[in-house]
Every structure is written in C-alpha cells, then in structure tokens.
Amino acid sequence: MSGIRALPVVSDRVLWDQAAAGDSEAFARLYDRHARAIYNFLHRRTGSWSDAEDLTSAVFLQAWRRRADVVLDRDSALPWLLRTADYTVRNEWRSKLRYRRALAAAHLIHSEVEDPADNVARRLDDDSRIRAVQAALKRLPRQEREIVELCVWAGLDQAAAAVALDVPIGTVKSRLSRARKHLRALDLETQA
C-alpha cells in the first residue's frame, strides 16, 4: 500500500462550519461534493451547458458569500444549494426577459434572434429530450414542477425536498403524487 491515506468522510455541516470560519479547503470539499448535482439540476432547467456552468459558479459564489449567515437544517448542504440554484436560475430568466423587453421597446429587434450555439445544441439528442421534458414540466403548476425537479432530477429524497422548499414533508408527498398524475395525463394527451 502507498503512504496516501484517504481523507475521512466529514459531514456537510462540519465542512460548512469550517468554511464559515474561513477554511477555503473545507468549502472546496463542499464544492467537489455537490457541484455536479447543482450543474445537472441547472442544465436540466436551462437546456444549456454553458448557462448551467455559469449559473453553477454563481450558486457557489453565493454560497461562499453567505457561508457565515446560513445554518444548515440537515447534515447535507445540497437542499440549500439546490434552493439557491433555483433562485439563481429564476433571477437569470427574469433578467433576460427584462433585457428582451427593453430591446423590443427600443425597436432594436423585430424578431427573436437565435443564438448559433442553439443550433449546435439542438443536434444533440440529450438536449432534445430535455426540452421535451421541460415542455411537459412547464404545463405543471409551479409547486408540482419544483417537486419533480428536486426529487426526480436532483435526486433528493422527500425529506430533503421539504427542507429545500421549506414545506412539510406531507406537502411534498401530495405535490409529487399530483405531479405524477398530471404527467401521466399529459403523456396520454400526446399519444392520442
């Protein structure tokens, strides 16, 4: 055996507390532990790899800035990070919408300008599947859509989703049940 020993498994809560005290190495371990889950969540929400990368950076920048203020409710930082990711992507959408409205008001654009990167992304099978799922999810009420995004896409259990949304676990269970029912009905509509 070599002389390299694995680092002991430390809970997110301990790492977060260390990061709050200024330990950047502890924060780096939190990043390594959760960046992929946050990126995947954001990629599914945006359908864009580059947007997901940028927004993932923004989420962890926000986490670093707020590390001393946030007290984790459970031993995992993932629910808080996912809630922050959700807020971040919503703020990004609102910002883009305001920008488009401002351009339209200034009569600088007459039609939607398509990004050339979208043409490349459209060729990828994964992106087309994501868009189809996003379209189905957009037809769900916001609260049901959030539950599906957290429990199915982000892989949180129902208790963690309850923490992320700051609702009772029973609310998560009922919203998830309704979302499944609505998605089945939407699937039947598209098959008819």
Question: Rounded to 5 degrees, what angle do the CA atoms 118, 40, 49 make?
Answer: 25
Q: Is residue 82 predicted with pLDDT exceeding 90?
A: yes
Structural domain boundaries in the chain: 10-110, 125-192
Q: Lowest-pLDDT range, 51-60, 71-80, 82-91, 108-117?
A: 108-117
Q: Report DSSP state, residue 6.
A: P
Q: Is residue 56 predicted with pLDDT exceeding 70?
A: yes
Q: Is residue 124 predicted with pLDDT exceeding 70?
A: no
Q: What is the mean pLDDT of residues 81-107?
A: 82
Q: Do domains 10-110 and 125-192 have the same CATH topology?
A: no
Cα distance between residue 175 and residue 170, in whole Å: 9
Is the CATH number of domain 10-110 1.10.1740.10? Answer: yes
Encode pLDDT of 14-29 as tens digits: 999 999 999 999 999 9
CA dihedral 14, 17, 18, 23 (to 10 degrees): 140
When the candidates are 3.40.47.10, 3.30.565.10, 1.10.10.10, 3.40.190.10, the CATH number that belongs to 125-192 is 1.10.10.10
Average pLDDT, the chain: 82
Q: What is the pTM of this model?
A: 0.59
